[in-house]
Amino acid sequence: MPYAVDFGTVSTTGLETSPVAGALAGLRANEARYFKNKYDHVFTVEPAADARPAIDWVHRILEEERGIVIASPPLEATAFQVENIRMTYVFYESGLSINVMYTVDEGGKRAVGFKLSDGMEVPEELSSFRFARQKSKLAGTIRGSYFVIKGEY
């Protein structure tokens, strides 16, 4: 069942099995606040079992672009479009959040972003990436990295 993320009251609903559930919930709320403020979009997630097409799309891009297979199980995902940008997010039990920003227009920006929840280690499959730090009132310290998508998906 879809769940609208409330960034006013951070909740671990759907993320309870994560060892960093509070930080992951803050990270999810941080994303919800961004999309509400920038695009007036309500950030809604659903359990991984109900979001297989979105998760499979993200995993296909990771595998084909960089040979990356995420070891942690996905807990939730969302896919939506704002303006001409297709956005997909997957939140993992480890505390990892992956988003794909895919501009629909030819020649637009397309990238995969990784964000690590406060308190989690860098997953082995992402050890080759350098992570920048960012402070968030909702999520504490977020470490993030990305790569540009070269193929068509």
Q: Where are the domains of the chain?
A: 3-148
User: What is the rounded average pLDDT for all residues in the chain?
Assistant: 95
CA–CA distances in Å: residue 126 to residues 8, 13, 66: 31, 26, 10
Report pLDDT for 107: 81
Residue 33: closest CA among 7, 13, 5, 4:
7
Between 1 and 126, residue with greater pLDDT: 126
* Mean predicted confidence (pLDDT) in 111-126: 96
- Sorted by sequence, the CB contacts under 8 Å of residue 111 that are 6+ apart come out as 100, 101, 146, 147, 148, 149
Quick check: 137 pLDDT over 90? no
Report pLDDT for 126: 97
What's the whole-model pTM score?
0.95
Q: Which helix (H) or strand (E) holds 79?
A: strand 74-82
Handedness of CA 52, 102, 114, 30 (dihedral sign): negative
* Strand ordering across the sheet containing 140-148: 3-4, 44-47, 74-82, 85-92, 96-103, 110-116, 140-148, 132-136
User: Reduced to 3 states, what is the DSSP secondary structure of residue 8?
Assistant: coil
Percent of the chain's residues with pLDDT above 90? 90
**What DSSP state is assigned to residue 50?**
G
**Encoding tokens for residue 72?**
């942690």
Q: Model confidence over 46-100: pLDDT tens digits?
A: 999 999 999 999 999 999 999 999 999 999 999 999 999 999 999 999 999 999 9
